[in-house]
Structure 1
Amino acid sequence: MASTIVWLRDDLRLDDNPALAVAASSPEKMTVVYVLDEASPGIRPLGGAARWWLHHSLSALSAELESKGSRLLLRRGAAAPAIRELANETAAGTILWNRRYGLPERTLDAGLKEWATGEGIEATSFQANLLFEPWTVRTGSGGPYKVFTPFWRSCLAGAEPRLPVDAPQRLPEPAAGPSGAPPAGDSLDSWGLLPHRPDWSGGLADTWAPGEQGASQRLEDFLDGPVEEYGTGRDVPGVEGTSRLSPHLRFGEISPFRIWHALRERFPRNAPADVGIFRSELGWREFCWQLLYENPGLATENYRREFDRFPWQTPSDAELEAWQQGRTGYPLVDAGMRQLWQTGWMHNRVRMAAASFLVKNLLADWRLGEAWFWDTLVDADAASNPANWQWVAGSGADASPYFRIFNPVTQSKKFDAGGRYLRGYIPELSGLDDKRIHEPWKDPEAASGYPEPLVGLQESRERALDTYQRLKAL
């Protein structure tokens, strides 16, 4: 009897997993497989923090599958030959997966579908990780949107996103290979996803609970309070005002459909404006994926091609390390970069300030920052990470104007007036009062051990604006 393969990628969950749900409704035996693909052309290898998350997410998923009567098979290598080999081993008649939207991934999936058709194998893909697939949201002229607001307005004017599918109560037993036993796979530990010598992940483990259960708990905690004050709370880095669902969404431990309808259920009518603001953040995720779908080189190429002529300055090793390590002399930037290193995450308001400092006050190429965030963020997303860096740099779609330069002092005074966030990550400033903590260079004795400002804000701002004016004149 033929068997079914469910190929998991960025959808490490049982709940609202269309590919898994279809397989669970079939009488065929099933193989659930994850392939660590760092070899296929164009596939971007995960950064260090994401690899840590993946290890723990796969471990949690494996336990969940076993509790339902199934198991998780792990294989490593180029995905297409790995799936073809597995199909032959298990006499698979069906291969199911949930769609991805980057060009290398789409190319790989299309090639596998073509091979399966030639072999008489049914290969079917499903919508699982985006509420609105990129090709379904189009302007009146049939092209993609380049500005978020009309994009999101168009999404909201369409059909309501489908209802999520509950996790199966039981799953088919694993398919057997030629020996009569389930196919052999790798051990998770053999992949070496976790850091060692040194192990820098202690702060990540203290902050996060990767896996589907952790994602569900995050959503519940958010709906029980912060969502109703999200409009203001999301801008205050010293409080838990955001959902922190981004890494769970990145690895597909929770579906956007589940989040969307959880909001509908919690607020069936007259939802607070804050709920709509949070829902629009889901929209920004959708918009970023449309940008990547239409612009596959988003992580390496300027969306606005005039920025190809922008004279970025190469920072010295000392300057770049000071930014990476949170030693720029500007507390908001430094607190954010230290939060990133300790927890694998940074508050979004602070991300914008830290990114602006790099690309505008230091005039460093945005790609340097994008690459650092890719390596250190647990929620490093192939679409949102480059799209947001280009937004700050001014080179992206619907971008912040280049002349908008975040002043880290003004930002910290406004959004962290009492210095709660700053004190949480910069112990050198513990002796400063609420006013002086934002400008520690004015009281160097009380801020002993904290570095002097790397550059002057006014001078570096003027340099950035002058450079941009010269670009416009070209």
Structure 2
Amino acid sequence: MNLVWLRNDLRLDDNPALYHACQQGQPVAVLYCITPTQWRLHHESPIKLGFRQDALNQLGQALAQRGIPLEVIQAARFDDLPGCIVDHCIQRGIRKLWFNEEIPVDERHRDQQVVEALSDAGVRYEMQVSDQILPQPVFNQQGAYFKVFTPWYRAWLKQLPEIGDCTLPEPEAIAPPLPAPAAIALPGSEPYRRDLWPADEQHALSRLTHFVQERRARYSECRDIPSINGTSGLSPYLANGLLSPRRCLQVIRQLATMDGWEWRDDPWLRELGWREFYRYLMIGFPRLSRNQPFKLQTRALQWERNEEGVVAWQQGRTGFPLVDAGMRQLRQTGWMHNRLRMLTASFLCKLLLVDWRIGEAFFMEQLLDGDFASNNGGWQWSASTGCDASPWFRIFNPTRQSERFDPEGQFIRTLIPELATVENRLIHNPPPALREQLGYPQPVIDYRQARERVLERFRVLT
């Protein structure tokens, strides 16, 4: 029997390990490992675990229809898995374990430990290459890892045609249907916004097709406006492995071929490229998985201890309306618009001068689409500590950002009911008396003073 170990790849479509295991002409089972202590160490959010729980139960039913059982074992941490998995393989008579490669350091170390334990026990294994769009890293002319996104992206685009149509179909049924499996409950999981993101693979695929066909053309125009549905909304499905990034590429290329436009110029493909770039950096620079900045000189940056400011930021009570609206969206839905992720991260790191790692962990603890590589990359970009990051002297002005991206205050009013009646010209920075009247806080900082402070901190590092 072949055993497929699923981790962050909870799908039937374009799943290399599952597909190839099912092609062997032998019985197949699927394994999922519950590791609650490790999840807490990785700051996995309770709602993400709720989403994953639903996804597992949906997947278990789909696998049962194909004659494939979904089996579950539990261990506290990754370090406990080698013995547990080997014992499970021996008890079930498993001849070969299949799994897809993962990128972060802890996951790679876990897999190496499991491989060594399997070899000692005489159980074969097959690791499939990562389900990134390009399975192998792209290097510069010196054979080293790129450190800037744009030249990496050009090299990445050049190699995409070489891989052809690399996506794999769902596996066919390999045995008669099985009875419906028992429901799986994940420790620490909490309800999430099922109305916004049903944890269903078919919904993810349908949503991808709808976005590319109906809304992709206006993506550049709409993506920065938080009050409208201008983004794909697919990040929870990509982050939890219900959707393959290669499938996203394939759908883009198919539509481009049909409609006669150049798929390499697609702005949403560039965003998928950023997602791949952050994974690429995790491979080339393992310190990123160890709470270290990419720019090592920024380790000397003097951060502030500002517990009151952090709490105000977390609760959406900073007194800067668009920042607060973004943070309240995060707490209410488990998701935040990308423009607001940059703004709120910049506010914490640059204006409150709080260590980016505090914000990185808090986002992971709240996000439905928490993705370690992308979250780390985004926070280091905002803090000017990362690879190809925002220049250290770029400081987002929260009021100007609000006036530019929510000019009529539509998004602010939706998330901050205290300001629902404030007129457009005042909503981005209500006067003190009006704030007091409406119960909305005064600004926690003076923007100009905070800006000069962070600039001085960075100047001493240059």
Deviation at 1:220, TM superposition (A): 2.3
Deviation at 1:466, TM superposition (A): 1.6
Look up the match of 2:35.
37
Change (3 A) 1:28 1:427: same
Query: Counterparts of 1:311-460 in structure 2 under 5 Å?
Result: 311-316=302-307, 318-441=308-431, 444=434, 448-460=438-450
Residue 5 of structure 1 aligns to a residue whose secondary structure is strand
1:276 aligns with 2:266: yes
Look up the match of 1:178.
none
Match of 2:188 among 185, 193, 214: 193
Deviation at 1:38, TM superposition (A): 4.4
Deviation at 1:71, TM superposition (A): 2.5
Q: Distance in 1 between matches of 2:385 and 2:217?
A: 34
Deviation at 1:154, TM superposition (A): 0.8
Q: What amino acid is the match of 2:266?
A: G
Deviation at 1:111, TM superposition (A): 3.0
Q: What amino acid is the match of 1:238?
A: S
Look up the match of 2:149.
148
8 Å CA contact 1:43–1:104 kept in 2: the answer is no
Deviation at 1:297, TM superposition (A): 3.2
1:302 aligns with 2:307: no
Q: Distance in 2 between matches of 1:72 and 1:294?
A: 34
8 Å CA contact 1:329–1:453 kept in 2: the answer is yes
Greater helix proportion:
2
Match of 1:61 among 59, 62, 76: 59
Change (3 A) 1:253 1:150: same
8 Å CA contact 1:429–1:447 kept in 2: the answer is no
- Give per-residue Cα distances to partners, 1:139-182, cap 9 Å, x unaligned: 1111111100111111111143443111123144699xxxxx9x
Match of 1:6 among 4, 29, 42: 4
Q: Distance in 1 between matches of 2:90 and 2:366?
A: 38
Deviation at 1:374, TM superposition (A): 0.9
8 Å CA contact 1:24–1:172 kept in 2: the answer is no
Q: Distance in 1 between matches of 2:453 and 2:92?
A: 63
Q: What amino acid is the match of 1:262?
A: V
TM-score by length of 2: 0.92
Query: Counterparts of 1:202-241 in structure 2 under 5 Å?
Result: 204-241=193-230
Q: Distance in 2 between matches of 1:53 and 1:10?
A: 12
8 Å CA contact 1:230–1:274 kept in 2: the answer is no
TM-score by length of 1: 0.90
8 Å CA contact 2:66–2:177 kept in 1: the answer is no
Residue 153 of structure 2 aligns to a residue whose secondary structure is helix
- The number of residue pairs the alignment matches comes to 454
- Give per-residue Cα distances to partners, 1:414-464, cap 9 Å, x unaligned: 111121111110111111122211112366169601111111111111111
CA RMSD of aligned residues (A): 2.5
The share of aligned pairs that are identical, in percent, is 35
Deviation at 1:115, TM superposition (A): 3.4
Look up the match of 1:89.
91
Q: Which moved more, 1:260-269 or 1:323-332?
A: 260-269
Deviation at 1:217, TM superposition (A): 2.6
8 Å CA contact 2:209–2:251 kept in 1: the answer is no
Residue 239 of structure 1 aligns to a residue whose secondary structure is coil
1:163 aligns with 2:166: yes
Residue 124 of structure 1 aligns to a residue whose secondary structure is strand
Residue 386 of structure 1 aligns to a residue whose secondary structure is helix
Unaligned ranges ≥5, structure 2:
none
8 Å CA contact 1:432–1:447 kept in 2: the answer is no
8 Å CA contact 2:300–2:461 kept in 1: the answer is yes
8 Å CA contact 1:345–1:378 kept in 2: the answer is yes
Change (3 A) 1:41 1:69: closer
Unaligned ranges ≥5, structure 1:
176-180, 196-200
Q: Distance in 1 between matches of 2:375 and 2:6?
A: 22
Q: Distance in 2 between matches of 1:381 and 1:422?
A: 26
Deviation at 1:14, TM superposition (A): 0.3
Q: What amino acid is the match of 1:52?
A: G
Q: Distance in 1 between matches of 2:391 and 2:274?
A: 18
Q: Distance in 2 between matches of 1:58 and 1:8?
A: 10
1:125 aligns with 2:127: yes
